[in-house]
Amino acid sequence: MLTNVEHIGIAVRDLTASNALFTSLLNVAPYKSEAVEAEGVLTSFFQVNKTKVELLEATNPDSPIAKFLEKKGEGIHHIAFEVDDIEAEMERLKNDGFTLLNDVPKRGADNKLVCFLHPKTTNGVLIELCQEIKE
């Protein structure tokens, strides 16, 4: 079950400059920065009340973020929804005809298991499912 919007992901060309811009805009500093090597990305997270914004900068030219930036430029990359049980939600969505970009959840940024839904089945919006990793 989708419980709430977990964060909005924004693709950026220069994380340092974008951190400064969003710090000024949101009037808060990022609470976390993290590299996700499997995705070829550096991330920064901002939080205002319950709303999170994730900035994403590509670390290599073959990463999904680099390809997105080349094709569409900077801007909203994805909307992430928190789920209670990512595997059950993946199965439900697959059965409802959505195309999953990965068959099993993978480790993402901010201590989450993640799965993405292909934009061709979600009106052109890349959707991410996120479940907190409980260790």
Distance CA 58, CA 121 (A): 25
pLDDT mean across residues, the chain: 95
pTM of the full structure = 0.92
Q: Please give the sequence-ordered ranges of beta strands (E in DSSP) within 59-134, or none if there are none.
A: 75-83, 106-108, 112-117, 127-132
Q: Please give the sequence-ordered ranges of beta strands (E in DSSP) within 12-100, or none if there are none.
A: 32-36, 41-48, 51-58, 75-83
User: For residue 125, how many other CB atoms are within 10 A of its CB?
Assistant: 12
Residue type at 39 in one-letter notation: E
Distance CA 8, CA 127 (A): 10
Distance CA 103, CA 73 (A): 28
What's the average model confidence in pLDDT over 110-132? Answer: 96
> pLDDT digit string (tens) for 51-110?
999 999 999 999 999 999 999 999 999 999 999 999 999 999 999 999 999 999 999 999
Q: Which helix (H) or strand (E) holds 132?
A: strand 127-132
Q: What does the pLDDT read at residue 134?
A: 85
Q: Are 131 and 82 in contact (CB under 8 A)?
A: yes
What's the average model confidence in pLDDT over 117-135? Answer: 94
What strands lie across the sheet with 106-108, from one edge to the other? Answer: 32-36, 41-48, 51-58, 2-11, 75-83, 127-132, 112-117, 106-108
Distance CA 82, CA 72 (A): 26
Provide the total of helices (H) and of strands (E) in the chain, helices listed first.
3, 8
